[in-house]
A and B are shown apart, each in its own frame.
Chain A
Amino acid sequence: MRCSTRNAPGVHELAVCQGLMTQVEQIARREHAARVTRILLRIGPLSGVEPQLLSDAFPIAAAGSVAADAELAIEPQPIRVRCLTCGEESAASTNRLVCGACGDYRTQLLSGDELLLASLELERRDNV
């Protein structure tokens, strides 16, 4: 949820975005990319990173880089848990990670805490 009282990205998301840019630039160099056209992230609600704030921070972090014009796509990830007591898998929410079947709190998170750079689309330089 985005804080409605401010327009600037959170410094937390900016820090994450700068980490992203370091990785994107490394991969772009390795792949001899002329430019990066699309960046796909997978982010779960339990990562602690707000996708909207990350999107807001991206143009600031990417300015002047090989990914300055890239589209930033974010695939939200669902929260799912597996019960360590009854074994059922169920959907859960950020502050209720108990088993949807038996209600036990001893569950294992299967998805929902991702903070991943999934893939890049890029254009290579012609002469390599």
Chain B
Amino acid sequence: MCDTCGCNVTDANRHLIEGDGRLAQTESGRDAISVLQGLLSENDRLAAHNREHFDSHRVLALNLMSSPGSGKTRLLEETIGALSGELRIAVIEGDLETENDAQRIRDKGVAAVQITTGTACHLDAHMVHDALHALDLDQVDILFIENVGNLVCPASFDLGQHRNVTLLSVTEGDDKPAKYPVMFRAADLMLISKSDLLAVLDDFSPDKAQRHLRELASTAPVHTLSARSGEGMQAWLDWLRSEHSAAKDRAAHGQTLRPAIQPDGQRLHTHEHTHQHAHHGHGRPGHD
């Protein structure tokens, strides 16, 4: 967690910064203070707190991101149906306005909390923390956080999730990963959605989309699926089962996991980095 890994300045290590950080006075007689602290460290602190909640309740938390209309809610509806009786699901929905998506999820018989952000273009750790008060995490195996539909801002804010899942629907361009690199670089899994439309949208190439993703140095798996036809759903459900089981094992050993991208700048042992590997104790990139 970023609270303990030393990459962030916290109460636990602030004395180090204070001891070494005070530099000589500048020529103008002003004092220069070296800080080296992440600009989002307050958000990151709260995200780490959320992650502790998830881990102590053995909950796998997944952050779903995509542009608006890529089929996140529809995918969740079908996923809830398919995993019914096997894994208990809850959903936090982020939208600028309306309860519509949360209502769609509740109609499937699972708990859903709607966050309406007003004008804010992304969820942050604070909003998610507030939403958690409305959920009984003891009754949850997998918590989906459906972020605001937006390929820009949500990638910058850690919510406490274990994994980022990014959807790219075939009605969009297959070069979206090249156009929105910060978002797609953050994906631990990329889902190419609405594959039932590929037959009529022959200008979208799943292979090209994957090549654009690889150019971002991403090793994330890519699945092509259609929630509508059911095609490709099995691989997604298997991924969820395996991630949930891994999350339970990690929590039982007092370990946690952050989305793979976040420790990148810090990571020293990346050679055999896989998405099953627990990056315990890493922080966000660039916060050294």
- A interface, CB within 8 angstroms of B: 10-12, 15-16, 19-20, 22-23, 27, 30-31, 33, 37-38, 41-42, 44, 46-49, 77, 81, 84, 94-98, 105-111, 113-124
Q: CA A15 – CA B43 in complex, angstroms?
A: 10
| B70-78, B159-167, B214-222, B238-246: which lies at the interface | B214-222
Residues of B within 8 Å of A124, CB to CB, are 31
Residues of B within 8 Å of A119, CB to CB, are 32-36
Interface hub of B119, B122, B265 (most chain A Cβ within 10 A): B265
Which residue of chain B has its CB nearest to the CB of A50? B152
Q: List 22 A-B contacts (CB under 8 A).
A: A11-B120, A12-B152, A12-B156, A16-B40, A23-B35, A27-B33, A37-B28, A47-B156, A48-B155, A95-B212, A95-B216, A97-B216, A108-B264, A108-B267, A113-B265, A113-B286, A114-B286, A115-B40, A119-B32, A120-B32, A122-B33, A123-B31
Residues of B within 8 Å of A49, CB to CB, are 39, 156
- CB pair B39 A20 closer than 8 Å: yes
Q: How large is the interface on B (under 10, 10 to 19, 20 to 34, 35 or more residues)?
A: 35 or more
Q: A97-B217, A115-B284 are in contact. List 16 more A-B contacts (CB 8 A).
A: A15-B157, A23-B39, A33-B31, A44-B286, A47-B286, A94-B181, A95-B178, A97-B181, A105-B216, A108-B217, A111-B265, A116-B36, A119-B36, A120-B33, A121-B32, A123-B31
Q: Tell me the dominant secondary structure on chain A's binding face.
A: mixed
- B interface, CB within 8 angstroms of A: 18, 26, 28-43, 119-122, 124, 152-153, 155-157, 177-179, 181-183, 185, 212, 214-219, 264-265, 267, 270-271, 284-287
Residues of B within 8 Å of A118, CB to CB, are 34-36
